[in-house]
Structure 1
Amino acid sequence: MSDLRVLVLAGGISHERDVSLKSGRRVADALTDAGVSTEIREPDGELVGHLMATRPDVVWSTLHGAVGEDGSLQNLLQLAGIAFVGSGSAGARLAWDKPVAKVLVARQSIRTPESIALPKSSFRELNAESVLAMVGTELGFPLLVKPAKGGSAQGCAKVSEPKSFAKAMVDAFAYCDQVMIERFVVGTELAVSVIDLGDGPLALPAVEIVPDSGEFGYNERYTPGQTNYYVPARLDDEILIEAARIAIAAHTSLGLTQLSRVDLIVDESGEIWFLEANVTPGMTETSLFPQAVLATEASLPETYLALVKLAQKS
């Protein structure tokens, strides 16, 4: 048994609570298998006091939503001098804001679908009907509507015709006060996880995502049997090499460290488009980061232990 004490944070009150609880349990089980003393705890009013009283060697947050991914928790841990797995507060803030992330990644000459971000206030004040008509005309259908901040595809919708546009916007605003409308790119969905165990960022094998329904929504992500995954993806080697390069470039341009997951799509001509980056990848039995790790023939316990040890040294 290692002397390391790791506190795994899971749950919370975000829309992704269930995913976080499953991820936290999987991480804790893997670390326990690696011989690490592990505690799972929910974020609550007693958390800060508990952290200061017990001062774990490392915190591993599997919290999704704002509390775990917008940089505030990372900032608190940095302020307290407590080591943690994952990116620091600055990188987390940049990746959490999807429109900002797209701008920064595009500066690296990486393609990303044309989009517009609209806060709820502007959407209302500028006449919602007129705004939707103009955006639909200029970007063209189909479109992808999604909360500007959030994960697990919650609040996301593909809009194929004008009559469905308004409802998709209302649904997305239920998750965030700012919504991003993005030109929909038809192609092969890829998730490229990036890991850095001290020798620089490395792209893990790309996971190709093929949902039975044709859309990779919340249910397709977390209900076993609703999506087929291919690791490595069934694409030409030169495309996979370029996808790995793009994932690392996106990871680096956003200031991310240790681990991330970059979502891409390869269109019918073989062009690769950046969609978003995630600083807290899911760790459930159907999640993409663990699948990519296992495709390298490494075990989850040894990989997670290596991340914990790196966090402790950082």
Structure 2
Amino acid sequence: MTNSVDPKNLGKVVVLFGGRSAEREVSLKSGAMVLAALQRNGVDAHGFDPAERGMIELAQGGFDRAVISLHGRFGEDGTIQGVLEWLNIPYTGSGVTASALAMDKILTKAAWISQGLSTPDYVRLEPGFNVDAVVKRLGLPLIVKPAQEGSTLGLTKVKTVEQLQAAFELAFKYDPNVLAEKFVSGQELTVPVMGAGNSAYALPVIRIQAPEGNYDYHNKYIGNETKYFCPSGLTPEFEAEVQALCVKAYQVLGCAGWGRADVLVDEGGKPWLLEMNTSPGMTDHSLVPMSARASGVDYDQLVLQIAASASLKASGLNVGGTR
């Protein structure tokens, strides 16, 4: 990970944050910290909340690049990426297709399975689904979650047959696409990945220890009881294996810029891919900055490097200082 980015070369930067998704509050925190880091380093950076300002204003802003700090729908699903491609504003993170693919957990799993990557078995749930068939295939406990939400919103750990329908109804409130997933008991890890294609590489693995193993919204963003270990404490050989798996998962989806893969290691020591985040959080509780620090890159340097990676994906054109 290179450390030298000249802030003067970044031009006029817009930081997109807030938005209309269920993760708006986290996005506001991420974006505010990213904006402050850019401004602290002399970058001509400006905040922009798409939920409060129109795309015409974005188009007329004269921005040289966009740093996406939006999470969830309309920010991480290819929507804003398509707008920025159309406006010819280079942006951070994955392109339209990879963003949309990674946002949909069902399509993500299908892509990974097609390439032989390990991810827990799953069933798509639709109204009127056969409860007994789902339990027979996946066993109990199992996980039910919306296919296109993040931050564990709408997620339920189902321990009994009787809980399954209510879990589906909760997830369905967030997204009409719902999946039931085989529960994997074990150690939770997360792995940031940077770059694109054959140049993609993983940052140090973070091992997560949440209260009672419950890494929910509160324990991610609000409480301070969750413990994070980076260095992870894994053997170097196993850490390298997990990193290689996450880089492959990132490449299969066509991700670019940066992302973060969530992994569970079962009691037999096998890693299982859970999901890929293409616009990870950048708050004081966030994990990509933690991993970067372990590799010798502080928060401000990380933000500058992410900003410098902005590009147009549809045309294949990288930033050259002008649009």
User: TM-score of the superposition, structure 2-length normalised?
Assistant: 0.90
Deviates more, 1:148-157 or 1:38-47: 38-47
Aligned equivalents of 2:198, 2:250: Cα separation in 1: 15
Is 2:59 the partner of 1:60? no
Is 2:11 the partner of 1:12? no
Query: Cα distance 1:199–1:169, how it changes in 2: closer, same or farther (>3 A)?
Result: closer
* Superposition deviation, residue 36 in structure 1: 0.9
Residue in structure 1 matched with residue 108 of structure 2 by the alignment = 101
* Superposition deviation, residue 28 in structure 1: 0.9
DSSP-derived class of the 2:281 partner: coil
**1:108-131 residue CA offsets vs partner (Å, 9 max, x unmatched):** 221110101124xxx23xxx4xx1
DSSP-derived class of the 2:174 partner: coil
1:132-171 alignment, distance < 5 Å: 132-171=131-170
1:41-80 alignment, distance < 5 Å: 41-44=48-51, 46-80=53-87
After TM superposition, where is structure 1 displaced by more than 4 Å over at least 4 residues in a row? none
User: TM-score of the superposition, structure 1-length normalised?
Assistant: 0.93
Aligned equivalents of 2:118, 2:247: Cα separation in 1: 14
Aligned equivalents of 1:267, 1:209: Cα separation in 2: 14
Match of 2:124 among 91, 97, 117: 117
Whether the 8 Å CA contact 2:202–2:246 is kept in 1: the answer is: yes
* Superposition deviation, residue 44 in structure 1: 3.5
Amino acid at match of 2:233: R
Residue in structure 2 matched with residue 188 of structure 1 by the alignment = 187
Amino acid at match of 1:69: E
Amino acid at match of 1:270: G
Residue in structure 1 matched with residue 8 of structure 2 by the alignment = 2
Whether the 8 Å CA contact 1:260–1:277 is kept in 2: the answer is: yes
Whether the 8 Å CA contact 1:8–1:28 is kept in 2: the answer is: yes
Question: Percentage identity across aligned positions?
Answer: 35
* Superposition deviation, residue 226 in structure 1: 2.4
Whether the 8 Å CA contact 2:30–2:282 is kept in 1: the answer is: yes
**1:80-99 residue CA offsets vs partner (Å, 9 max, x unmatched):** 11011111101101101111
Whether the 8 Å CA contact 1:205–1:296 is kept in 2: the answer is: yes
Q: Give ranges in structure 1 of 5+ residues lacking alignment.
A: none
Is 2:215 the partner of 1:209? no
Aligned equivalents of 2:223, 2:8: Cα separation in 1: 34
Query: Cα distance 1:221–1:248, how it changes in 2: closer, same or farther (>3 A)?
Result: same
DSSP-derived class of the 1:8 partner: strand
Q: Give ranges in structure 2 of 5+ residues lacking alignment.
A: 1-6, 312-317
* Superposition deviation, residue 45 in structure 1: 6.5
